[in-house]
Structure 1
Amino acid sequence: MLKRSADGVAVVACNTCRHSPDARADEQGQRGGAKLVEALRRVKASDPAYDGVAVEEMPCLFTCSEFCTVHLRSPRKVGYVMGRFAPDDDAARAILDYARAYAQSDWGSVPFRDWPEGVKGHFITRTPPEGYVVE
Protein backbone atom coordinates (compact mmCIF):
# COMPACT_ATOMS: atom_id res chain seq x y z
CA MET A 1 0.00 0.00 0.00
CA LEU A 2 1.24 3.50 -0.83
CA LYS A 3 1.09 6.44 1.56
CA ARG A 4 1.22 10.08 0.47
CA SER A 5 4.64 11.61 1.12
CA ALA A 6 5.91 15.13 1.59
CA ASP A 7 6.05 17.54 -1.32
CA GLY A 8 9.50 18.92 -2.06
CA VAL A 9 12.87 17.60 -1.03
CA ALA A 10 12.81 14.36 0.94
CA VAL A 11 15.33 11.90 2.30
CA VAL A 12 13.59 8.53 2.30
CA ALA A 13 15.50 6.08 4.47
CA CYS A 14 15.19 2.32 4.30
CA ASN A 15 14.19 1.40 7.86
CA THR A 16 14.95 -2.30 7.34
CA CYS A 17 18.49 -1.95 5.97
CA ARG A 18 21.32 -3.99 7.35
CA HIS A 19 23.48 -2.50 10.09
CA SER A 20 26.71 -3.27 8.23
CA PRO A 21 28.00 -5.54 5.46
CA ASP A 22 28.35 -8.35 8.01
CA ALA A 23 25.41 -7.82 10.37
CA ARG A 24 21.66 -7.36 9.97
CA ALA A 25 21.34 -5.73 13.39
CA ASP A 26 23.44 -4.26 16.18
CA GLU A 27 24.05 -5.92 19.57
CA GLN A 28 20.59 -4.78 20.75
CA GLY A 29 18.88 -6.28 17.70
CA GLN A 30 18.17 -2.94 16.00
CA ARG A 31 18.54 -2.71 12.22
CA GLY A 32 20.96 -0.14 10.82
CA GLY A 33 18.22 1.47 8.75
CA ALA A 34 16.06 2.08 11.81
CA LYS A 35 19.04 3.60 13.62
CA LEU A 36 19.81 5.84 10.63
CA VAL A 37 16.18 7.05 10.57
CA GLU A 38 16.50 7.95 14.26
CA ALA A 39 19.77 9.82 13.60
CA LEU A 40 18.31 11.69 10.62
CA ARG A 41 15.31 12.81 12.69
CA ARG A 42 17.48 13.76 15.66
CA VAL A 43 19.88 15.85 13.54
CA LYS A 44 17.03 17.45 11.57
CA ALA A 45 15.30 18.47 14.81
CA SER A 46 18.52 19.98 16.15
CA ASP A 47 18.92 22.61 13.41
CA PRO A 48 16.25 24.75 11.70
CA ALA A 49 18.51 24.90 8.60
CA TYR A 50 17.11 21.46 7.76
CA ASP A 51 13.45 22.56 7.88
CA GLY A 52 13.16 22.39 4.07
CA VAL A 53 14.10 18.71 3.98
CA ALA A 54 11.57 16.01 4.91
CA VAL A 55 12.81 12.82 6.55
CA GLU A 56 10.68 9.83 5.67
CA GLU A 57 11.10 6.08 5.96
CA MET A 58 9.89 2.97 4.25
CA PRO A 59 10.72 -0.71 4.42
CA CYS A 60 13.23 -1.99 1.87
CA LEU A 61 14.60 0.10 -0.96
CA PHE A 62 15.78 -3.17 -2.60
CA THR A 63 19.46 -2.27 -2.18
CA CYS A 64 20.10 -5.35 -0.10
CA SER A 65 23.68 -5.77 -1.31
CA GLU A 66 24.35 -2.46 0.51
CA PHE A 67 23.42 -1.19 3.98
CA CYS A 68 22.02 1.98 5.55
CA THR A 69 20.52 3.30 2.32
CA VAL A 70 18.57 6.47 1.56
CA HIS A 71 16.82 7.87 -1.50
CA LEU A 72 17.07 11.63 -2.01
CA ARG A 73 14.29 12.98 -4.19
CA SER A 74 12.33 16.04 -5.21
CA PRO A 75 9.80 16.73 -7.96
CA ARG A 76 11.43 17.59 -11.32
CA LYS A 77 14.94 16.83 -10.01
CA VAL A 78 17.30 13.95 -10.53
CA GLY A 79 17.14 11.61 -7.53
CA TYR A 80 19.95 9.72 -5.83
CA VAL A 81 20.24 6.49 -3.90
CA MET A 82 23.10 6.53 -1.43
CA GLY A 83 24.22 3.88 1.01
CA ARG A 84 26.96 2.26 3.07
CA PHE A 85 26.53 4.83 5.84
CA ALA A 86 27.22 4.33 9.52
CA PRO A 87 23.85 4.70 11.29
CA ASP A 88 24.97 7.72 13.31
CA ASP A 89 24.62 11.49 13.63
CA ASP A 90 27.72 12.24 11.52
CA ALA A 91 26.31 10.36 8.54
CA ALA A 92 22.87 11.89 9.10
CA ARG A 93 24.37 15.38 9.13
CA ALA A 94 26.29 14.75 5.89
CA ILE A 95 23.14 13.40 4.21
CA LEU A 96 21.06 16.37 5.36
CA ASP A 97 23.77 18.86 4.36
CA TYR A 98 23.86 17.34 0.89
CA ALA A 99 20.04 17.44 0.79
CA ARG A 100 20.14 21.19 1.54
CA ALA A 101 22.55 21.79 -1.36
CA TYR A 102 20.39 19.55 -3.55
CA ALA A 103 17.30 21.58 -2.62
CA GLN A 104 19.03 24.76 -3.80
CA SER A 105 20.11 23.21 -7.13
CA ASP A 106 18.13 23.80 -10.31
CA TRP A 107 17.64 20.16 -11.34
CA GLY A 108 19.38 18.09 -8.67
CA SER A 109 23.02 18.40 -9.67
CA VAL A 110 25.27 19.59 -6.82
CA PRO A 111 28.85 20.53 -7.79
CA PHE A 112 31.36 18.07 -6.32
CA ARG A 113 33.16 20.90 -4.51
CA ASP A 114 29.94 21.43 -2.48
CA TRP A 115 29.52 17.80 -1.43
CA PRO A 116 29.97 17.15 2.29
CA GLU A 117 32.88 14.79 2.84
CA GLY A 118 30.52 12.29 4.47
CA VAL A 119 28.60 11.55 1.24
CA LYS A 120 31.58 11.08 -1.05
CA GLY A 121 31.79 7.45 -2.13
CA HIS A 122 28.24 6.68 -0.97
CA PHE A 123 26.31 7.18 -4.22
CA ILE A 124 24.76 4.01 -5.68
CA THR A 125 22.40 5.27 -8.41
CA ARG A 126 21.10 8.41 -10.04
CA THR A 127 17.45 8.34 -11.13
CA PRO A 128 15.79 10.65 -13.65
CA PRO A 129 12.65 12.50 -12.63
CA GLU A 130 9.39 11.44 -14.23
CA GLY A 131 9.23 12.67 -17.81
CA TYR A 132 12.91 13.67 -18.10
CA VAL A 133 16.39 12.30 -18.70
CA VAL A 134 19.73 14.04 -18.22
CA GLU A 135 21.51 15.33 -21.34
Structure 2
Amino acid sequence: MTSWITICDTCKTPDWDETTDSRPHGQDMADLIEAAAMGREGVKTRRVSCLMGCSHGCNVAVQGAGKLAYTLGKFDPAPEAAEAIVEYAALHAQSTNGQVPYKQWPQGVKDHFITRHPPLPDAAEE
Protein backbone atom coordinates (compact mmCIF):
# COMPACT_ATOMS: atom_id res chain seq x y z
CA MET A 1 0.00 0.00 0.00
CA THR A 2 0.96 3.62 -0.39
CA SER A 3 1.65 6.00 2.46
CA TRP A 4 1.58 9.71 1.81
CA ILE A 5 3.86 12.27 3.39
CA THR A 6 1.98 15.56 3.48
CA ILE A 7 4.50 18.35 3.98
CA CYS A 8 3.63 21.80 5.29
CA ASP A 9 5.50 24.17 2.98
CA THR A 10 4.71 27.27 5.05
CA CYS A 11 6.26 26.06 8.34
CA LYS A 12 8.88 28.14 10.04
CA THR A 13 11.13 26.93 12.84
CA PRO A 14 11.46 29.23 15.87
CA ASP A 15 14.73 30.69 14.55
CA TRP A 16 13.17 31.81 11.24
CA ASP A 17 13.97 35.46 10.54
CA GLU A 18 12.38 37.42 7.71
CA THR A 19 15.54 39.51 7.34
CA THR A 20 17.79 36.52 6.69
CA ASP A 21 15.50 33.72 5.47
CA SER A 22 14.21 34.07 1.92
CA ARG A 23 11.47 31.44 2.26
CA PRO A 24 9.78 29.30 4.92
CA HIS A 25 11.74 26.37 6.32
CA GLY A 26 8.85 24.16 5.22
CA GLN A 27 9.81 24.71 1.58
CA ASP A 28 13.36 23.59 2.35
CA MET A 29 12.03 20.54 4.19
CA ALA A 30 9.65 19.72 1.33
CA ASP A 31 12.51 19.82 -1.17
CA LEU A 32 14.56 17.46 1.02
CA ILE A 33 11.71 15.00 1.63
CA GLU A 34 10.73 14.92 -2.04
CA ALA A 35 14.32 14.17 -3.00
CA ALA A 36 14.63 11.45 -0.34
CA ALA A 37 11.32 9.85 -1.40
CA MET A 38 12.10 9.85 -5.11
CA GLY A 39 11.77 6.27 -6.38
CA ARG A 40 10.88 4.95 -2.91
CA GLU A 41 8.31 2.19 -3.27
CA GLY A 42 5.10 2.76 -1.33
CA VAL A 43 5.83 6.40 -0.49
CA LYS A 44 4.36 9.49 -2.15
CA THR A 45 4.61 13.14 -1.20
CA ARG A 46 2.48 16.23 -1.49
CA ARG A 47 2.74 19.79 -0.26
CA VAL A 48 0.09 21.80 1.55
CA SER A 49 0.11 25.32 2.86
CA CYS A 50 -0.35 25.00 6.62
CA LEU A 51 -0.98 21.97 8.78
CA MET A 52 -1.77 24.35 11.69
CA GLY A 53 1.11 23.10 13.83
CA CYS A 54 2.92 26.42 13.87
CA SER A 55 4.38 25.98 17.35
CA HIS A 56 6.07 22.77 16.19
CA GLY A 57 7.75 23.93 12.96
CA CYS A 58 8.45 21.74 9.91
CA ASN A 59 5.34 19.58 10.25
CA VAL A 60 4.48 16.53 8.18
CA ALA A 61 1.60 14.06 8.21
CA VAL A 62 2.04 10.37 7.37
CA GLN A 63 -1.19 8.84 6.12
CA GLY A 64 -2.45 5.76 4.31
CA ALA A 65 -5.89 4.50 3.39
CA GLY A 66 -7.45 2.57 6.26
CA LYS A 67 -4.46 3.17 8.54
CA LEU A 68 -3.57 5.19 11.59
CA ALA A 69 -2.27 8.62 10.58
CA TYR A 70 0.44 10.59 12.35
CA THR A 71 1.51 14.22 12.52
CA LEU A 72 5.18 14.81 13.21
CA GLY A 73 6.94 18.11 13.84
CA LYS A 74 9.78 19.96 15.55
CA PHE A 75 12.20 19.15 12.72
CA ASP A 76 15.08 21.19 11.42
CA PRO A 77 15.10 21.14 7.61
CA ALA A 78 18.06 18.78 7.20
CA PRO A 79 18.77 15.76 4.97
CA GLU A 80 18.96 13.43 7.99
CA ALA A 81 15.48 14.43 9.14
CA ALA A 82 14.06 14.01 5.64
CA GLU A 83 15.60 10.54 5.31
CA ALA A 84 14.17 9.48 8.69
CA ILE A 85 10.69 10.74 7.75
CA VAL A 86 10.78 8.87 4.44
CA GLU A 87 12.04 5.70 6.14
CA TYR A 88 9.23 5.91 8.69
CA ALA A 89 6.67 6.44 5.90
CA ALA A 90 8.01 3.35 4.11
CA LEU A 91 7.54 1.31 7.31
CA HIS A 92 4.05 2.78 7.67
CA ALA A 93 3.27 1.71 4.09
CA GLN A 94 4.42 -1.85 4.83
CA SER A 95 2.33 -2.14 8.00
CA THR A 96 -1.19 -3.50 7.97
CA ASN A 97 -2.75 -0.81 10.17
CA GLY A 98 -0.23 2.04 10.15
CA GLN A 99 1.29 1.14 13.49
CA VAL A 100 5.06 0.71 13.32
CA PRO A 101 6.71 -0.90 16.38
CA TYR A 102 8.80 1.63 18.32
CA LYS A 103 11.96 -0.45 17.99
CA GLN A 104 11.71 -0.05 14.20
CA TRP A 105 11.36 3.74 14.22
CA PRO A 106 14.30 5.54 12.65
CA GLN A 107 16.17 7.51 15.31
CA GLY A 108 15.45 10.75 13.47
CA VAL A 109 11.67 10.58 14.10
CA LYS A 110 11.77 9.69 17.77
CA ASP A 111 10.44 12.56 19.93
CA HIS A 112 8.86 14.19 16.86
CA PHE A 113 5.36 12.70 17.06
CA ILE A 114 2.67 15.30 17.71
CA THR A 115 -0.66 13.51 17.08
CA ARG A 116 -2.11 10.17 16.03
CA HIS A 117 -5.47 9.84 14.28
CA PRO A 118 -7.53 6.70 13.80
CA PRO A 119 -8.47 5.81 10.24
CA LEU A 120 -11.76 7.12 8.95
CA PRO A 121 -14.60 4.61 9.05
CA ASP A 122 -15.24 2.88 5.77
CA ALA A 123 -18.62 3.11 4.07
CA ALA A 124 -19.82 -0.12 5.73
CA GLU A 125 -19.38 1.46 9.17
CA GLU A 126 -21.39 4.63 8.42
Specify if TM > 0.5.
Answer: yes
The alignment's C-alpha RMSD in Å is 1.8
- The alignment partner of 1:35 has SS state of helix
**CA deviation profile, 1:33-71 (whole Å, cap 9, x unmatched):** 1100000111122xx3x1320011100001111100000
The alignment status of 1:23 with 2:13, answered yes or no, reads no
Structure 2: any 5+ residue segments left out of the alignment? none
Structure 1: any 5+ residue segments left out of the alignment? 1-6
Give the CA deviation at 1:24. Answer: 5.5
**Match among 3, 11, 14 for residue 5 of structure 2:** 11
The alignment status of 1:83 with 2:76, answered yes or no, reads no
Q: 1:25 and 1:98, CA in 2 relative to 1: closer, same or farther beyond 3 A?
A: farther
Identical-residue share of aligned pairs (%): 35
Q: C-alpha distance in 2, partners of 1:26/1:96?
A: 31
CA contact (8 A) 2:41 2:90 kept: no
Give the CA deviation at 1:88. Answer: 1.7
Could you say which residue in structure 1 is the equivalent of 2:86?
A: 96
- Taking structure 1 as the reference length, the TM-score comes to 0.84
The alignment status of 1:109 with 2:99, answered yes or no, reads yes
CA contact (8 A) 1:24 1:31 kept: no
Could you say which residue in structure 2 is the equivalent of 1:4?
A: none
CA contact (8 A) 2:3 2:93 kept: yes
Count of matched residue pairs: 122
The alignment status of 1:32 with 2:25, answered yes or no, reads yes
Q: 1:25 and 1:8, CA in 2 relative to 1: closer, same or farther beyond 3 A?
A: farther
Give the CA deviation at 1:105. Answer: 0.8
Letter in 1 for 2:47: E
